[in-house]
Amino acid sequence: MDLQWTAAFLLQLLYLPYAATVSAGAGNRTSDQSDVVIEDLLETAAALRTKSAVVGVKGQDVCSIPCDITAKLLREDKHSLCGQFQQSLLAYSRSTRKMIRDVMDEQQRAIDFLTTQMTELITKMQTLSLEVQRSNTEMYSVKPVQSHGRDCSDIKDSLVSVVPKIPSGIYIAHPENTDSSFEVFCEMDYMGGGWTVIQRRTEGLMDFKRPWADYVSGFGHLPGQHWLGLSKVHQILNQKETRFQLHIALVSHDDETAYASYDDVHLGDDAQFYSLHLGRYAGSAGDAFRGYEQEQNQDTAPFSATDVDNDGCVPFCTIHNRTVESCSARHNHTGWWFNQCGLANLNGSPGDRGARGGGGHAAGDDTHILWDTWTQNGVPHRIRSVTMKIRRLTTNN
């Protein structure tokens, strides 16, 4: 309604001068007649607007009144609508552009974030890769594979004239009169060098609960915790015209050190279950291999493991008022030259704590690496780590 009245008002303003002219031309028309004409004009304009909305602007044929005015009004109306429409389009376009820009900005930020993450990951991977490379290089740098010899003493003797300082590390041993060659760790800077390491361990770092076959062939990692293997040790010790010294180095939990040395050592063959044969003892740790009493003596004892029982407890022993059928089982399924168990077991594993039991060992009961002749105030030291190594003795010694 408001729109109609506004249109009528505008029409009146525009039409009155024209109506006056027409009225003057007609001569006898009254003001009432003029009102009727205006009303007619309004109706015609409304009809025209409706029609033009339906069929377009080609409505000149229905103009019974001044068509140029009607057309002008319609044009202005159209222009106004077009202007509004254009404004709306512009506003819409602007808001759409802004929305797209916002979305793109957000995606760019996400891409930037992911790129940063990826760069960080790549850097970390490169660092790790370098670390691995470095540790490999370090490992292989102590592995001059070209250096062969019958054992570490032989390798040392052959290198000493050509290498100013022979590094400790992994070498290839090829014992005399054998077809086999294998890697060994040689200590070249300990007490004159030339030591073949046959056992090295730190309590709790590696599981020594192994069956017979593992103790025969060896296990572990040569630069770290390992047991070289009874068959390899036998091959090295069994070479003709050689004598070997056995050296056992002990470190306690209090960082105290002690050693036990045997000036002659050899092993029986596999048919003798690699029985241990020891020469004269020297050292600061006591001769735990022989112990204090004959029944504890492990010298000449065959090797036992959890699945091969040569421990001298047949069918059982009584140790500290406890009945023991298997020393290996008692010592947490480790392998050793047990004789009614005895005072030494350098392969003892965590878990012995409960198994040792009995009286008389109160302070030593949590010791897993055993060398019970190394004592302080009558109580065995708690041993943290141990190394067993062998070296040639000069034959004319």
What is the smallest separation between the CB atom of 277 and Ca ion, expressed in angstroms?
Answer: 21
- Structure-token pair, residue 87: 């404004």
Q: Is 173 in the site for Ca ion (CB under 5 A)?
A: no
Q: Is 154 in the site for Ca ion (CB under 5 A)?
A: no
Question: 159 vs 319, which CB is nearer to Ca ion?
Answer: 319
Closest CA relative to residue 185, chosen from 173, 199, 169, 201: 169
Among the candidate windows 88-96, 166-174, 308-316, 343-351, which touches Ca ion by CB under 5 A?
A: 308-316
Among the candidate windows 2-10, 244-252, 320-328, 345-353, which touches Ca ion by CB under 5 A?
A: 320-328
Q: What is the dihedral of CA 135, 137, 138, 142, to 10 degrees?
A: 140
Site residue total, Ca ion (CB under 5 A): 4
What is the smallest separation between the CB atom of 306 and Ca ion, expressed in angstroms?
Answer: 11
How open is the CA angle 332-335-341, to the nearest 5 degrees? 75
Closest CA relative to residue 278, chosen from 305, 309, 247, 235: 247
Question: 5 vs 316, which CB is nearer to Ca ion?
Answer: 316
Q: Which of 187, 287, 299, 311 binds Ca ion (CB under 5 A)?
A: 311
Q: Which of 151, 309, 352, 372 binds Ca ion (CB under 5 A)?
A: 309
What distance in Å separates the CA atoms of residue 285 and residue 265, rounded to the nearest whole number? 18
Question: 187 vs 311, which CB is nearer to Ca ion?
Answer: 311
What is the smallest separation between the CB atom of 151 and Ca ion, expressed in angstroms?
Answer: 33
What is the smallest separation between the CB atom of 319 and Ca ion, expressed in angstroms?
Answer: 12
Question: 203 vs 309, which CB is nearer to Ca ion?
Answer: 309
Closest CA relative to residue 7, chosen from 41, 31, 52, 35: 41
What distance in Å separates the CA atoms of residue 20 and residue 367, rounded to the nearest whole number? 130
Q: Residue 63 class from Cβ within 10 Å (0-12 exposed, 13-18 middle, 19+ buried)?
A: middle
What is the smallest separation between the CB atom of 308 and Ca ion, expressed in angstroms?
Answer: 10
What distance in Å separates the CA atoms of residue 346 and residue 380, rounded to the nearest whole number? 13
Q: Is 370 in the site for Ca ion (CB under 5 A)?
A: no
Q: Which helix (H) or strand (E) holds 86?
A: helix 67-141
Q: Which of 65, 313, 319, 390 binds Ca ion (CB under 5 A)?
A: 313
Binding to Ca ion by CB under 5 A, coded x per residue (else -) over 326-355, reads x-----------------------------
- Is the distance from CB of 253 to CB of 382 less than 8 angstroms? yes
What is the smallest separation between the CB atom of 296 and Ca ion, expressed in angstroms?
Answer: 15
Angle at which helices 2-26 and 31-55 cross, to 10°: 130
Among the candidate windows 103-111, 187-195, 286-294, 313-321, which touches Ca ion by CB under 5 A?
A: 313-321
What is the smallest separation between the CB atom of 307 and Ca ion, expressed in angstroms?
Answer: 12
- Is the distance from CB of 252 to CB of 241 less than 8 angstroms? no
Which residues contact Ca ion (rule: CB under 5 A)?
309, 311, 313, 326
